[in-house]
Structure 1
Amino acid sequence: MSLDKSSTPFSPAFLLLGTHPQETKPASQRGTCTPMFTAALFTIAKTWKQPKCLLIDEWIKKMCCVCTVEYYSTINKNDILPFAATWMKLEDIIPNEISQTEKDEYSTMSLICRT
């Protein structure tokens, strides 16, 4: 999968997070994955150099990007049901300011069915 800066407004580094198979991690590292993932997200967020208060549309798009990364992480772990429930809750709080095409693009069914 190749991404260029014109096709996505988000950092391509997101795609590198959480993509390693779970069975290859030693038992001592399993408890550190979530804090490391959170630290990586904060590091990436610092590189965005955005103003402290994002517009609603920008915030939603960045949250959708984070949730998309979480989706692919759960696919690797074969743990899709808890993710789908979390994503559906997120869809309920998306405000009306976002366009219908963006709602369709980031909807749960489009991710699960890969349409």
Structure 2
Amino acid sequence: MSSDQQPNVGKTVKGVVGGVVLLFSPVLIIFGPVWAPLFLIYWVYNYLTGKHPIGAGKVDYVRDKIVESVEEVKNKVEQLGKEKVIWYEQRKVPWSTPSLEKWLNVNK
């Protein structure tokens, strides 16, 4: 056979793959709303039972980062709250005005 008469395998493979996709696309479209929740339930079940499915490491990493951030915010709020209490108790108001002084004395 000459090079002009050899079968074109690429076109055959593309045709077969395209035919399979066309054949099963209605099934995928019809059952798509069922597949996604089923996969999600399967993934969560595996994660909770300790099997660590794909992406579990990223979920753990994000969870740890969220916990760190919440702890930092909590510590900062506690620190600022203590500073505010100390400021309020000492009544150190460098930008004080007569009306503010009156308000502070009234609210003792």
TM-score normalised per structure 1: 0.21
Q: Which has the larger radius of gyration?
A: 2
Q: Relative contact order (alpha carbons < 8 A, sep ≥ 6): 1 or 2 greater? A: 1
